[in-house]
Amino acid sequence: MGKKQKIVLPPDLPPEIPDDEVEVSDDDLQFVKENRGYASLLSSLDTQSITKHVTRVADAKDDALEKLYEKRMQKNALKKEKEETGLQVDRVDALPIKTLDGKVYYRTATKIVSENDPSEEGAQEDVEADKGLVKLTKAEKRAKLKKMKKEAKKQGKEVAKEVEETPQAAVLAEVKEDLTAEEAFESKKLKLAELGNALLTDPESNIKFLKEMVQICKDNDDTIVKLGLLSLLAVFKDIVPGYRIRLPTEKELEMKVSKTVRKMRYYESTLLSAYKAYLQRLVVLEKKPLFQLVAVRCICSLLEANPHFNFRESLLDATVRNISSTNEAIRKVCCSTIKSLFANEGKHGGEVTVEAVRLIADHVKAHNCQMHSDSVEVLLSLSFDEDLVKSAKIEEDQKIKNKKSKKRKNSEASNQLVENDRKKSRHELISKTREEVEADYKAASFAPDVMERRQMQTETLSAVFETYFRILKHTMQSIRARPEANSGELSSPVETLPLLDPCLKGLAKFSHLIDLDFMGDLMNHLRVLASGSSNSDNTTDKSSRCLTVSERLQCCLVAFKVMRNNLDALNVDLQDFFLHLYNLVLEYRPGRDQGEVLAEAFKIMLCEDRQHDMQKTAAFIKRLATFSLCVGSADSMAALVTVKHLLQKNVKCRNLLENDIGGGSVSGTIPKYLPYSTDPNLSGALASVLWELNLLSKHYHPAISTLASGISTMSTANNQVLSSKSSPQQAFKDMSLDQELCFTQVGSIKLNNKRRTTAPATSPSIGSTENVSSFDDDELRKKLNSHFTIVHDIKENERLRRELDKTTRSLQLYEQYKKQKKPSKRKPV
């Protein structure tokens, strides 16, 4: 509350002097005439108001003057109250009312004024000042004006608070905030675009803009951060030079250089510092889930585009670290980047390949072989130069010969040291000059040195096989740690083996590069893994279930490929692997195991191998014919093609096609057929007949039925066999493709139901679509209807049997209850 200002009465006026008595001298008149501009203020004075105030106050006593003041104050107060009784409400908060004559009226409300309101005092002072009772000086007027402004600001703040409390004002405030946020977002986007465009247009002059773009990547808006990362990625991919930047040393900085060199140094240092800050930002954001995908994409793109540039170790480490990520998108991006680095070694000279393979080996070791299979499968995309491997072996032999020859020469040259000093110095000079020329040529040429390539390839091979052997060792330890067959339940959770399948594929691909010193241990491990148990002698152990059928088949395939590539150096018996294949055929399940692996095993182990005796061949033929009845069309086709190849190469096994009274044609000279034998040499398959071909000739698929009919017509006298050159692997692929095409075109292809005159059964081309689309639709429908009818009857029969058993058990319980109840009734009371 401001203090009340005291009212000071004006002093008494001087006595009035009549105008006639006033004397004006000539000098005063002349001065006024000469200075009329200064007297313009007197002409603008309001003489009436001045005389009015003067006449009211003049000749008045003190009591009368005070009463006059009170009356006028009361009149002014009444007028003010009348004016302030009706105040219009804010037009935003109250709707007006429009009458029929078109006039608009707003609602009004009385204003409640507090008792001690400082505005009353200010109003009273204004009235008094207006009436001229008190005349204020300029300083007092300025102070009063400042006070009024302060009070107006306070009232404005209070009104703003009241407006903010209303819901409409809150909504308006939110809208304003959104508009400002959108404007800020658009301005940042435009700034990013301008900076990026300037850098791409003239990077040398605008290199300083890189720091601003890196700073924008640290913004609080997530979208702006992502846009900044992608913008910098595009800029760096375009302006990064094709060489590795080396910053000048302190001595080089002290030297005087030209303006061009100084400008280039500034450009390279600024680029390198911004690139480093950008990579540090990517590594930080790569650990946050919101920015992980964008950061990994930027890292992989930079590594793939500039594998030769600085800080590639950080990029490669981040890429390999995410190669086994649980996020499928991130994992695929990293794997494709690593494969691209392996395929395009011309960009980095093979150095990144060595580093990547070494990092993968370290990660496999650190994670104890518990990683995603893609992390090791990328090694399959490696390519090695076999000429370098052969030349390395030749050079090793040459070095040994050179050492021996040097010793011999040294012994001979010791006798002629004095005579050959001059020749020796000349020879040294020539060799030194030749080395200098070769060094200059190597520095000028872009082709990598043969010795360096050989060394890098050796390091890569050692890291690859170190990874593969570690996985095999871990698999062996996991199998030995399994509970034995006699134990009832598993005491600990079963550890998975995700890296075994890509490891076996890699060993099969690079088997010709394995050192002979490791061949013996490798074959022993493969034999144990193919049996599926820790003890190779006990193949029926329950721990064999730890490996799938496909993995065990892969072990057999790797063993055969290693043996084939090193046939001259190895002398290994592969009969155990034939035994495993013979037993794995019965354990194969179409929906669970990989049919491609089984077809490849048929091709490599049975079709391409020539060391088969008659008993073993007959056993495989009989088992494959039985296998064809229990699997799908693709697997059945691969098995039948294998049977055809075996019968072509072993003419004596065609006795299985004959149907004599006592079995096969030589059934009397061989033991009885044992279908469940685990050894093909003791199965006695020659005493059996291929009756399965008769059922397969009625197969619903025309290609299989035709092939089975063709095989059954073979005999020892008829040497004309099927002329198909398809392998089991190719037959499986073609049949699988035909099945997919048939299923996708069901309902869209209208088959011709008219009967056509067909030629006698000839050898069809395996996988041809003509045979698939030429079968009779009605016949197929009848076969399928009969098949599903039988299946339905079997299920219905099983349901009825269950109900009958349930009713029988209920009757038996009821009979037992009656027998127990009768003796209790006969007891005397």
pLDDT tens-digit map of 655-709: 888 865 444 444 445 567 777 778 888 888 888 888 889 899 998 888 899 999 9
Least confident interval from 245-259, 419-433, 532-546, 572-586: 532-546
Burial group, residue 338, by CB count within 10 angstroms (0-12, 13-18, 19+)? buried
Residue 829: what pLDDT?
Answer: 42
Least confident interval from 79-93, 454-468, 629-643: 79-93
Residue 236: what pLDDT?
Answer: 92
Compute the average pLDDT of residues 219-243.
90
pLDDT grade for 458, boundaries at 50, 70 and 90: confident
More confident residue, 32 or 559: 559
Compute the average pLDDT of residues 80-85.
56
More confident residue, 290 or 387: 290
Residues 310/348, Cβ–Cβ less than 8 Å: no
Measured distance CA(113)–CA(204) in Å, rounded: 71
pLDDT grade for 17, boundaries at 50, 70 and 90: confident
- Coil, helix or strand at residue 97: strand
pLDDT by residue (tens digit) across 481-527?
Answer: 665 433 444 444 455 788 888 998 898 888 888 877 778 788 888 88
More confident residue, 765 or 432: 432
Residues 311/243, Cβ–Cβ less than 8 Å: no
Tell me the angle at which helices 312-321 and 351-366 cross, rounded to the nearest 10 degrees: 40
Alpha helices (H) along 44-110: 47-57, 62-84
More confident residue, 569 or 655: 655
Q: Which element (helix H / strand E) includes 87?
A: strand 87-88
Measured distance CA(278)–CA(314) in Å, rounded: 12
Alpha carbon 737 to its chain's center: 31
Residue 339: what pLDDT?
Answer: 92
pLDDT > 90 in the chain, percent? 14
Q: 779 - beta bridge partners?
A: none
User: Average pLDDT of the chain?
Assistant: 75
Measured distance CA(785)–CA(791) in Å, rounded: 10
pLDDT grade for 246, boundaries at 50, 70 and 90: confident
Least confident interval from 88-92, 104-108, 417-421: 88-92
Q: 97 - beta bridge partners?
A: 105
In this predicted structure, the answer to whether residue 347 has a pLDDT above a threshold of 50 is yes
Encoded tokens for 620? 């495989």
Residue 247: what pLDDT?
Answer: 87
DSSP per-residue letters across 2-50 = PPPPPP-PPPPPPPP--TTT----HHHHHHHHHT-GGGHHHHT--HHHH
123-to-3, 87, 143 alpha-carbon distances in Å: 14, 17, 15
- Coil, helix or strand at residue 309: coil
What's the chain's length in residues? 829
Residue 441: what pLDDT?
Answer: 60
- Coil, helix or strand at residue 208: coil
pLDDT by residue (tens digit) across 790-804?
Answer: 888 888 888 888 889
In this predicted structure, the answer to whether residue 5 has a pLDDT above a threshold of 80 is no
Residue 173: what pLDDT?
Answer: 67
Encoded tokens for 304? 């793939």
More confident residue, 773 or 6: 6
Compute the average pLDDT of residues 8-19.
67
Residue 722: what pLDDT?
Answer: 43
More confident residue, 771 or 173: 173
pLDDT by residue (tens digit) across 125-164?
Answer: 444 444 443 455 667 777 777 778 777 777 766 655 554 5
Residue 293: what pLDDT?
Answer: 92
Compute the average pLDDT of residues 550-579.
80
Burial group, residue 88, by CB count within 10 angstroms (0-12, 13-18, 19+)? exposed
Residue 109: what pLDDT?
Answer: 55
Residue 717: what pLDDT?
Answer: 46
Compute the average pLDDT of residues 15-34.
76
Residue 700 CB coordination number (10 Å):
13
Encoded tokens for 660? 């004599």
CB contact set of 369 (below 8 Å; sequence gap of 6+): 470, 471, 474, 475, 497, 498, 499
More confident residue, 24 or 800: 800
pLDDT by residue (tens digit) across 728-781?
Answer: 888 888 888 776 666 444 444 444 444 443 444 333 443 343 444 445 677 877
In this predicted structure, the answer to whether residue 317 has a pLDDT above a threshold of 90 is yes
- Coil, helix or strand at residue 108: strand
Q: 663 - beta bridge partners?
A: 660
Q: 88 - beta bridge partners?
A: 108
Encoded tokens for 505? 């594929």
Least confident interval from 216-220, 292-296, 351-355, 677-681: 677-681
